[in-house]
Amino acid sequence: QQQVKQSPQSLIVQKGGISIINCAYENTAFDYFPWYQQFPGKGPALLIAIRPDVSEKKEGRFTISFNKSAKQFSLHIMDSQPGDSATYFCAASKKEYGNKLVFGAGTILRVKS
Amino acid sequence: NAGVTQTPKFRVLKTGQSMTLLCAQDMNHEYMYWYRQDPGMGLRLIHYSVGEGTTAKGEVPDGYNVSRLKKQNFLLGLESAAPSQTSVYFCASSYSVLIDTQYFGPGTRLTVL
């Protein structure tokens, strides 16, 4: 049973546009919600993360929006660039569970120039 | 620092053969993880370790064994490989329960014929 559901599976955005990827989780005990970025042939790398005590976190062009009551969080990429083309994974974990990450299925983002 | 390294990068096995994947980290991290990545399924946790000499099962542990004899190394073993174990395997590490960021290795692509 997938505890973190991610959508869409794939996304095509024009250069300069906004990319939005959504995730929903089931376990209300999760207390850490990271987004990972993965380029072909590479391992995932942490992009940005949020904890449930805040509703939004911004780092450069990347923003996480978090809705605790709806058990949803999303990644917004502003001014999307061709270099942002990658696979993005949302995830969730809880310290008491050994920080084990539960990943969404991933979103393949393509930014057209 | 090399970060997280994995050996080998690629491997082809025949059904029933055994092999060991090696993960090494030079960041003095306490926690280490093994994930497998399959298309459309994100990354799924196989086994993890919260310290030298400790191991625990993750979401999909069947058919795999692990050992953490040294803090910097985490070995993943396949005793009798099956085609269903064809996947890309990623190792990750994190500093401790207090610092959540997991750092991933470059992956091992395993094909079982």
Task: Check pLDDT > 60 for residue A1.
Answer: no
Contact call for residues B96 and B49 (beta carbons, < 8 A): no
Task: For residue A49, list chain B residues with Cβ-Cβ distance below 8 A.
Answer: 100-101
Tell me if A6 and B97 make a contact (CB, 8 A cut-off).
no
Tens of pLDDT along chain B (113 residues) come to 789 999 999 999 999 999 999 999 999 999 999 999 998 889 999 999 999 999 999 999 999 999 999 999 999 999 999 999 999 999 999 998 777 799 999 999 999 99
Task: For residue A95, list chain B residues with Cβ-Cβ distance below 8 A.
Answer: 97-98, 100
How far from A90 is each of A23, B38, B53, B86, B96, CA to CA, in Å?
7, 15, 30, 23, 21
Tell me if A101 and B50 make a contact (CB, 8 A cut-off).
no
How far from B87 is each of B19, B41, B73, B110, CA to CA, in Å?
14, 11, 21, 6
Task: Check pLDDT > 90 for residue A8.
Answer: yes
Question: B27-51: buried (b, 16+ CB within 10 Å) or exposed (e) per residue?
Answer: eebbbbbbbbbeeeebbbbbbbbbe
Confidence category of residue A98, pLDDT binned at 50, 70, 90: confident
Tell me if B44 and A6 make a contact (CB, 8 A cut-off).
no
Torsion of CA B81, A2, A32, A58, to 10 degrees: 110
Tell me if A42 and B107 make a contact (CB, 8 A cut-off).
yes
pLDDT of B76 reads 98
pLDDT digits (tens, 9 = 90+) for A63-96: 999 999 999 999 999 999 999 999 999 999 987 7
Q: Which residue of A has its CA nearest to B38?
A: A105
Distance of residue B44 Cα from the nearest chain A Cα, in angstroms: 7
Distance of residue B43 Cα from the nearest chain A Cα, in angstroms: 6
Task: Check pLDDT > 70 for residue A27.
Answer: yes
pLDDT of B100 reads 78
Provide the phi-psi class of A14: left if phi over 0, else alpha when psi is between -120 and 50, else beta: beta
Confidence category of residue A2, pLDDT binned at 50, 70, 90: low
